[in-house]
Structure 1
Amino acid sequence: MPSLSPLYDDTLALLRKMIRNACVNDFTPGSGQEVRNADTLERFFADTPNITVRRYESAPGRVSIVVTLEGTDPTAEPLTFLGHTDVVPVDVDRWTYDPFGAEIHDGRLYGRGAMDMLFITAAQATVLRDAARTGRPTGTLTFVGVADEESRGTLGAKWLSEEHPEAFSWRNTVSETGGSHLPIADGSDALVVVVGEKGAAQRRLHVTGDAGHGSNPYGRESAVVKIGEVARRIAAIEVPVSQDPLWQGFVRAFRFSPEIERALLEGTDDTAFEYFGDLKRYAHALSRLTFSQTILRAGTAINVLPSSATLDLDIRPLPGTTQDDVDAILAEALGDMFHDVRIERLISEPASVSSTESPLYQAIVDTFDEFFPGVPVVPTIAAGGSDLRFGRRLGGNGYGFALHARERTLGDVFHLLHHHDEYIELEDVDLTVRAYRSLVRRFCGV
């Protein structure tokens, strides 16, 4: 590793403390207890000049912290670092190292949340503290350590955006992840910046049947058979490939042969996704509206014919696809069964995407070029969700931005998210804190 950033040691120390706090969010209101990381962050910022620190508690122990470094020019563009402080549960028996020990082995820091996204959160906090010690920015610089991201932000960013929209500016926001590399077909390099994310169109499909004793099925309509046929019809849905410029730019960035590129862009041969290697599933998700059948429910006892059955669908729409569009596709797929199926909307959120022509996007591109001169930057969207969508709903721009070494691909990052033995390369901790410090100088002038 080359000479380290002066901020590296502080970033690493903070990151290890946050991992050890074990703010595990198991998707119940009482879990997470991000108050531990909020307390750690508040101590980290103690005696820092020019800042204000505010805490927001959406439920007992579910604390988000907002640290503001006020700018000198109220008309200048603000910048907000949005880092979450909760992590997902672990299967301890599947880990080689203590998931909350923050142990370092062979240049890697192991621990739940090391990649998702505590290394970014720690880098953001360290950079704001350093900027505050340096002077005053032109535009206001804010760090937010937010709770409950892993459970769709209900008690974190969503709650803040609805209950305390004045707490910080959503106008220009940086969060997870970005900054990894694409395995280009000709061996060249490209960097990823995340500019948006797919939406959610979760559905529960209900059917009914005839109840009765399992020993007397004759003449009875089976709810299980009906839901099985519903599942078969859903599986047969053929979704056309997207014509969105982000998908087209992603494909062209790989520099495949004209034949492969044409198959991907026109949707004529799905086997072409194999050429993406580890990114084939992500690329497929980026290319279209997706339907995943995830939960099937029917019956309670083996000797009772159930009177109802349900099928849950995890549906992820691209920008431009509405909830009504999704229901229309389902209705067409169900065909003559449509009137026998009740479609219930569960979590329903539109896809969101930020401009690639904003001042912040250009500053991110310029920062990438500082560290990887001449390497093209490829804007893409996330197949899952992040807290950035709440800012986009308020009219702001939000980008996933970090920085990884040349050999770390987007597929490598995806592999570690929520995985056993999650880790972050120490080199990438250093690169990310350097990149954030450079971005702040470039965008905020401090």
Structure 2
Amino acid sequence: MIHKDRLQQHLNQMHALSTIEGIPGINRVAFTEQDWQGRAYLIDCLKELKLTIQYDNFGNVVGRYKGLNPSAPAIMIGSHTDSVPQGGHYDGLAGIVAAIEVVRALQTSNKRLESPIDIALFMCEESSRFGSATLGSQAMRGQLSKQRLIQLSDKTGLSLYEVLQQRGMDPEKVPHGSYHTPLKAFLELHIEQGLVLETTKHQLGIVTGIAAPTRYKVHIHGTAGHSGATPMTHRHDGLCAAADIILATERIAKAYEPTPVVATIGVIEATPGVMNVIPGEVTLGLDIRSISNTAKTDVAEDILAAITEISNTRQIPIDLELIANETPLMMSKTMLNAMETVANKGNYNYMTLPSGAGHDAMNWGDYTDVGMIFIPCEKGISHNPAEAINIDDLVAGTQYLLELVQYLDQQ
């Protein structure tokens, strides 16, 4: 049986470890002290369950609840430990405390399944620090090269390679540390981060597919100059070129059909950034997403072509740096049938829907069957201190997760 008080206790403890005085919201940014303290608390939770714990050189943690059949493939459940700066309290964390409670409920009822259960704590799912998302699960899949660890850096100039070293990891081993344990399924519970479930008054969402991002840094090499002394006809304004790119990005993504694609430029860094100087060097952060890889590729190609045209028209060199190019995941019919069977049997108020946000779950689709469960978040707000849930929805989602794990174990 799922206990609301235990779930709430974990949430309360993590909240206390994740705040910084004078700064709003949750601040478990990847590999910071708050993230490391939260990780330590969650590891203690796994130890209290007497799980066998494994660590990798990216900081990911897997705790195993042994099954009756040692050779059976495991069912992995979990989510990410980190948050965005000044973020919400339930993004990622809801899935971890649900996984812990599922194992606690099995232990309390003296029930052991045929399959082992692996609880996964993924590091660095958010792109906030290094500009690329789901890095922890990518590391577990052996998808991070040494070059990429050196290439990815935060705003202070520290590379991911250096940050791992600071945390006592060996980044040289990351490219060779992929997870090889057989899995029967990977399951992740997460807040929806959208309005659909709340608006339609559904308590659970069964995710049909997960959108994935393609991300670029766009480096615009304009020419800085005096804002008063340089005639308009003699300017190579980097920020004006950036404005053209931003509007072209919006126009191209909005016009694409029939599959929805979203494209966002959420970062603008202009140098020197003063009132009386024409902007020279400008860097943009471009994010393109869809649940269709074909649609995402088409829009990305059209945006890059527009950038080339803008560069030629304005006679301003523009360089592109690919940061991420991930593959969307469509859930298997086998998993969706299993999830709907369990939901109908338990009379859960559910609906099916796609995920516009990326998640660690999408990195496991070529390894095992993947299932993702959404619970509502109030007003669809996420990545924000105002992020909130109804704890009863988390209880229901965790109970459903428990029943789904037991159902899959019997298949």
TM range (shorter): 0.7 to 0.9
1:54 maps onto 2:50 in alignment: no
Q: How does 1:9-408 map to 2 (within 5 A)?
A: 9-22=5-18, 25=27, 27=29, 29-34=31-36, 36-46=37-47, 48=49, 51-56=51-56, 58=58, 63-73=59-69, 76=72, 78-90=74-86, 112-113=88-89, 115-132=90-107, 134-151=110-127, 156-162=136-142, 163=174, 164-166=177-179, 169=182, 172-177=185-190, 181=197, 183=199, 192-218=205-231, 219-223=233-237, 224-237=239-252, 239-240=254-255, 242-243=257-258, 287-300=259-272, 301-321=274-294, 325-334=298-307, 336-339=309-312, 340=315, 342-358=318-334, 360-372=335-347, 377-380=351-354, 382-392=355-365, 394-402=366-374
Q: TM-score scaled to structure 1, two decimals?
A: 0.67
- Counterpart residue type for residue 41 of structure 2: T
- Counterpart residue type for residue 33 of structure 1: D
Q: TM-score scaled to structure 2, two decimals?
A: 0.72
- Output the CA distance in 1 between the equivalents of 2:367 and 2:65: 22
Q: Which secondary structure state, in structure 2, belongs to the residue aligned with residue 236 of structure 1?
A: helix
The question of whether the paired residues in 1 share the 8 Å contact of 2:225 and 2:277 is answered with: yes
- Output the CA distance in 2 between the equivalents of 1:43 and 1:313: 39
What is the aligned partner in structure 2 of residue 419 from structure 1? 384
Deviations 1:301-335 (A, max 9, x none): 44444444344322224322377534430245457
The question of whether the paired residues in 1 share the 8 Å contact of 2:198 and 2:380 is answered with: no
The question of whether the paired residues in 1 share the 8 Å contact of 2:288 and 2:300 is answered with: no
Q: Which secondary structure state, in structure 1, belongs to the residue aligned with residue 389 of structure 2?
A: strand
- Counterpart residue type for residue 325 of structure 2: E
Q: Which has the higher contact order (CA 8 A, sep 6+)?
A: 1
In structure 2, stretches of 5+ residues that fail to align are 20-25, 143-173
- Output the CA distance in 1 between the equivalents of 2:13 and 2:234: 61
Deviation, 1:293, is 2.8
The question of whether the paired residues in 1 share the 8 Å contact of 2:72 and 2:114 is answered with: yes
Deviations 1:168-194 (A, max 9, x none): 55551111326883645xxx9695212
- Output the CA distance in 1 between the equivalents of 2:133 and 2:188: 14
Deviation, 1:153, is 5.3
- Output the CA distance in 1 between the equivalents of 2:133 and 2:332: 25
Q: Which secondary structure state, in structure 1, belongs to the residue aligned with residue 112 of structure 2?
A: coil
Deviation, 1:81, is 0.6
Q: Relative to 1, partners in 2 of residues 1:297 and 1:38: Cα closer, same or farther, differing over 3 Å?
A: closer
- Counterpart residue type for residue 251 of structure 2: A
Deviations 1:91-146 (A, max 9, x none): 8xxxxxxxxxxxxxxxxxxxx52x32323321211211332452432222111123
Stretches (4+) displaced over 6 A: none
Q: Which secondary structure state, in structure 1, belongs to the residue aligned with residue 35 of structure 2?
A: coil
Q: Relative to 1, partners in 2 of residues 1:221 and 1:412: Cα closer, same or farther, differing over 3 Å?
A: same
- Output the CA distance in 1 between the equivalents of 2:115 and 2:396: 24
- Counterpart residue type for residue 363 of structure 1: A
- Counterpart residue type for residue 138 of structure 1: E
Deviation, 1:439, is 1.7
- Counterpart residue type for residue 15 of structure 2: I
- Output the CA distance in 2 between the equivalents of 1:76 and 1:22: 37
Give the CA RMSD over aligned residues.
Answer: 3.6
Q: What count of residue pairs does the alignment treat as equivalent?
A: 358
What is the aligned partner in structure 1 of residue 406 from structure 2? 441
- Counterpart residue type for residue 391 of structure 2: L
Task: Report percent identity of matched pairs.
Answer: 17
The question of whether the paired residues in 1 share the 8 Å contact of 2:378 and 2:387 is answered with: no
- Counterpart residue type for residue 16 of structure 1: N
- Output the CA distance in 1 between the equivalents of 2:352 and 2:41: 35
The question of whether the paired residues in 1 share the 8 Å contact of 2:75 and 2:186 is answered with: yes
What is the aligned partner in structure 2 of residue 272 from structure 1? none
Deviates more, 1:291-300 or 1:19-28: 19-28
Q: Which secondary structure state, in structure 1, belongs to the residue aligned with residue 384 of structure 2?
A: coil
- Output the CA distance in 1 between the equivalents of 2:57 and 2:277: 47
- Output the CA distance in 2 between the equivalents of 1:230 and 1:123: 42
Deviations 1:394-439 (A, max 9, x none): 4333232155xxxxxx573622x22334333232232123212222
The question of whether the paired residues in 1 share the 8 Å contact of 2:94 and 2:190 is answered with: no
Q: Relative to 1, partners in 2 of residues 1:75 and 1:189: Cα closer, same or farther, differing over 3 Å?
A: same
In structure 1, stretches of 5+ residues that fail to align are 92-111, 244-286, 404-409
Q: Relative to 1, partners in 2 of residues 1:351 and 1:304: Cα closer, same or farther, differing over 3 Å?
A: same
Q: Relative to 1, partners in 2 of residues 1:331 and 1:198: Cα closer, same or farther, differing over 3 Å?
A: same
